[in-house]
Amino acid sequence: MISSSFPALVTAAGAATRFRPFSRCVPKEMLPVGSIPAVEHVIAECLAAGASEVVVVTRPGDSTIPEHVGQLRSEGAPVETIEEDLDHGYGNAAPLLSLRHRLTNCDAFAVAFGDDLLLGEPTPGYNLATMRQRSVDAEAMIAGQMIPVGAVESFGIIDIEPQQPNRVRSIRQRPHPGEVGEPLAVVSRLILRPSIFDHLAASEQARGEVDLGIAVGNLASVARVAVHRITGSWVTVGDPLHYLDALKTYWQLDPAQPTYREGQS
């Protein structure tokens, strides 16, 4: 049962079409980065940031991630899995709707995508912990990182209030490079309050899916949403080329990532 302290939700329910046929058997979140799967890095990050427990939302029928998470749980990690409820639709926000009944009584909770890693943080979980500390006067706190202007058509881009450099005015999905001043992209780390559920709905802008970036942008129009510019490197294992970049970054930084097997043979 999720407590009201500070739970974290890790999404791992995507179809991973860009990794097929491999991903028909093994979810992309189980791709190794160093000696452990990507999703274990994300779980460890959430716990290092102070999460009271972590719930990994998996795609229906997947047994690989639940088996791995079950091993972590047997070793003492406060982590569990649930299957995504497809009755809530599709999209990167659908896992939140699958847990709505368990999160509505929380003051705040974290969301992290299981195929994205933050490497080279000053301390494990630094960014999420900082976001939690700074979110006390906001309905949401999102992470952001500057990207090349030419890449903005693949990301949600954060527009900032001119007189308030940490306040989000809006989020534009895949804008044209010529329409972007500061290319500050949404990073897949968020601190949210239950008010986000009022904005989670399928939209034409997301081609009928439930999109978390669109929901947060809508929330920013009626409440305070803040941005934290991350420290470290944001990498993804979401497709083969970016996975290669993630591995290169990992070994270049040689991070001392937390695991649950330290000291074990």
Q: If phi over 0 gives left and psi between -120 and 50 gives alpha, with beta otherwise, what is residue 152?
A: alpha
Beta partners for residue 140, in sequence order: 192, 225
Task: Give me the pLDDT at residue 263, please.
Answer: 38
Give the pLDDT score at 229. Answer: 97
d(CA 198, CA 69): 31
Q: Write down the pLDDT at residue 2.
A: 44
pLDDT in tens, 125-180: 999 999 999 999 999 999 999 999 999 998 999 999 998 989 999 999 999 999 99
pLDDT at 258: 53
- pLDDT at position 264 is 41
Write the single-letter amino acid at 84.
E
Q: What angle do CA 13, 250, 230 make, to 5 degrees?
A: 75
Query: Residue 257: what pLDDT?
Result: 54
Q: Indicate the SS3 state at residue 89.
A: coil
Q: Tell me the residue type at 207.
A: R
**Distance from the Cα of residue 179 to its chain's centroid:** 26
- pTM value is 0.92
User: End-to-end alpha-carbon separation of the chain, Å?
Assistant: 32
- Report helix, strand or coil for 197: helix
The list of the chain residues with pLDDT below 50 reads 1-4, 262-265
Instruction: Please answer whether residues 31 and 38 qualify as being in contact, where contact means their C-beta atoms are separated by less than 8 angstroms.
Output: yes
> What's the pLDDT score for residue 254?
64
